[in-house]
Every structure is written in structure tokens, then in C-alpha cells.
């Protein structure tokens, strides 16, 4: 079982257009409404590939009812916490070349009682789980230490903990020693306070995070693939050619694929200082899922028929001087 926590879930409305022209009336070529939030996407990807998962999230208002209904249609097992505020709605505009413009709502605040209920539900649900993935932005009002405190609260459940956050919440989490963090290039640069312009920079920054006590760092590099930095060193992977329809959710698919085969739970805890035996397979699986995700519309997550593992390339001898493509 892989448990996901999404403190700030959403309804994601994706609008496909021929081109984005400010100040003009434009007709959409397609519209998709999907459940959203990074942890929700992660669970959706796992469920689509018959991986046991349970999604913890706050749910409120008519939008929350719609979110529950959409997730139920996908057969997702929920551990929802009822809250008063409505679930936020995000809008993504996608052009034919894959250019994506996102308008993300901040979300409504949780009361202290609702926040504590969310933490308690996550800890209870984690019992016996292999991984707990804490993902996405925090709604207004939650402390930057929310994920860090949760990592501490999860200690003793037997589950390994992955955190996919950004900004101050990510920086606060590092000292709590999560088993894995998954920043993108911008999030990694912000967490380390240094520029990340090449693959070598990403490796160095990932190693810097490990000196803070993080078990492993999985860096999503967008079109350039991904880097894993753990006790076994650095491993780089990419897919040479990928059709891009929507990049929304690609990082979530990367983490979902990685966790689907990565060691976790008590076995990972015993070997925290050693390299993961399945690290190569885990990185390759994550990359294959991510490549499949960007070829799909909206925030649809890939299933078995969408995933092509044969195109993945892994390198132990990193092209350290290769510059990363602009995000």
C-alpha cells in the first residue's frame, strides 16, 4: 500500500486551444475536468496501474462532492477528512506545442482542528503502508513546518516517507530526515540557494540536500529526464523522444512510477545508509510513467497500455556539463 496525502486538493479544468492570445475571445478545442492535487495525481497513477493506494485529503463544498465522485469513478480508495471550506478549482490552458499556462487558486484555509484531523488520518492510514507520499502546496494558514511535523509523527508507523513540496515547507522538511524528496529544478535551486543550470549542478544540489539527512533526492528535470541522488551515488535517466500534449502531472507520474517499485517500509529503514537494490528499475519506471503522462490530455494519468519502458535510457556516467532546457 502506498498512502498519499494532499493537503490542498483541487478540481483541475484543462482547456486546449489553438494559441493563447491575451485580451481576445478564443474557442477551446477540448476541455477536460480531472481530480487534482499532487498527491491525488500520484494515487490516480498508481490506481491506474493496479497498485494499492489510499488517498488522504480534505474535502468540502460542492466542489469536494464533485472531486469525490470523480475519484470514485476511477476506483480510488479515499480517506477523506470532511472540512467546511470548498475544494479549490485550477485552470490550465494548453497549446498544441505543449506550452502550458496554469492558473492555480490558493485554496481555502483549514481550521486547526481540521489540520489536526488530517494529520491523524494520515498517521492512522499509514499503519502497514510501504510508503507515505506527502505532496503539493499547503492551504493558507498551515505552518511551513506542517510536512516536517508530519514526517516526525509518521516515525514508528513502519512506512518510508516521501515529500514533494516547495519553498519554505520543503526547506523545513529537510531536517526531519524524510526518506525521499522530489523537487523539480526550480524547487531544488530554491532549497539549496544555488543555481541549477546543468545536470552536474542538479547532482551537486541533490548531494547537498542529503547532507541535511534526506535519504534520497529524485530531481525531475522536465524534458531532460530525471536524476536520482542517494547513498549509491547519482544516476541519470531520460527518454530521447517524447510527444508532449500536456506537462501537467508529469512530475507526479514520475514519483508514482518510482514509488511503485522502490523499496520502502521497514526494509528501507534498515538499509537507509545503503544504496537501493532496485534504484535503477525504480528510476526507469518513473521516467516511463512520466513520458506516458505528457502524451495524454489534461491531467490524465497513464495506465499499462500507455507506458513504454523500452525507450528509457539510464547513465551512470553522467553528462555533468549538459545544460538543462529552459522550463
Q: Give me the active site residues, please.
A: 252
Contact between 173 and 214 under an 8 Å Cβ cutoff? The reply is no
Burial (Cβ within 10 Å: 0-12, 13-18, ≥19) of residue 44? buried
- Residue 185 has, within 13 A of its CA and on its CB side, a CA count of 19
Please state the three-class secondary structure of 232-257 as a single string.
CEEEEEECCCCCCCCCCCHHHHHHHH
Residue count (the chain): 327
- Residue whose C-alpha is closest to residue 237's, from 150, 155, 183, 316: 316
Question: CA 191 to CA 74: how far, in whole Å?
Answer: 35
Burial (Cβ within 10 Å: 0-12, 13-18, ≥19) of residue 18? exposed
Contact between 278 and 262 under an 8 Å Cβ cutoff? The reply is yes
Tell me, rounded to whole angstroms, the distance of Cα 165 from its chain centroid.
8
Question: CA 205 to CA 170: how far, in whole Å?
Answer: 14
| Distance set, CA 16 to CA 28, 66, 225, 287 (Å) | 6, 22, 25, 25
DSSP category for residue 305? G
- Residue showing cell 497500455: 305
Amino acid at each position: 500500500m502506498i498512502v498519499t496525502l494532499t493537503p490542498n486538493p483541487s478540481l483541475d479544468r484543462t482547456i486546449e486551444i489553438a494559441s493563447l492570445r491575451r485580451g481576445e475571445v478564443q474557442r477551446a478545442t477540448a476541455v477536460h475536468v480531472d481530480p487534482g492535487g499532487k498527491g491525488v495525481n500520484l494515487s490516480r497513477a498508481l490506481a491506474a496501474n493496479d497498485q494499492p493506494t489510499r488517498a488522504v485529503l480534505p474535502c468540502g463544498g460542492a466542489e469536494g462532492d464533485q472531486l469525490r465522485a470523480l475519484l470514485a469513478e476511477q476506483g480510488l480508495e479515499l480517506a477523506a477528512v470532511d472540512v467546511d471550506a470548498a475544494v479549490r478549482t485550477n485552470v490550465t490552458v494548453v497549446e498544441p506545442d505543449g506550452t502550458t499556462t496554469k492558473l492555480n487558486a490558493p485554496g481555502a484555509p483549514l481550521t486547526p482542528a481540521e489540520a489536526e484531523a488530517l494529520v491523524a488520518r494520515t498517521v492512522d492510514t499509514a499503519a502497514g503502508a510501504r510508503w507515505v507520499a506527502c505532496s503539493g502546496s499547503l492551504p493558507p494558514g498551515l505552518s511551513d513546518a506542517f510536512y516536517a511535523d508530519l514526517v516526525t509523527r509518521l516515525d514508528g508507523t513502519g512506512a518510508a516517507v516521501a515529500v514533494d513540496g516547495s519553498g519554505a515547507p520543503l526547506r523545513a522538511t529537510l531536517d526531519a530526515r524524510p526518506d525521499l524528496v522530489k523537487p523539480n529544478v526550480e524547487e531544488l535551486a530554491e532549497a539549496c540557494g544555488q543555481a541549477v543550470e546543468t545536470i552536474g549542478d542538479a547532482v551537486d544540489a541533490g548531494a547537498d540536500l542529503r547532507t541535511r539527512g534526506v535519504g534520497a533526492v529524485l530531481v525531475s528535470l522536465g524534458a531532460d529526464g530525471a536524476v536520482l541522488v542517494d547513498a549509491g551515488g547519482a544516476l541519470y535517466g531520460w527518454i530521447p523522444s517524447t510527444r508532449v500534449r500536456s506537462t501537467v502531472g508529469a512530475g507526479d507520474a514520475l514519483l508514482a512510477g518510482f514509488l511503485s517499485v522502490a523499496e520502502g517500509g521497514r526494509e528501507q529503514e534498515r538499509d537507509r545508509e545503503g544504496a537501493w537494490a532496485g534504484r535503477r528499475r525504480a528510476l526507469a519506471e518513473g521516467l516511463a510513467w512520466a513520458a506516458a503522462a505528457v502524451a495524454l490530455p489534461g491531467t490524465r494519468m497513464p495506465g499499462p497500455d500507455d507506458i513504454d519502458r523500452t525507450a528509457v535510457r539510464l547513465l551512470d556516467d553522467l553528462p555533468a556539463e549538459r545544460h538543462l532546457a529552459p522550463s
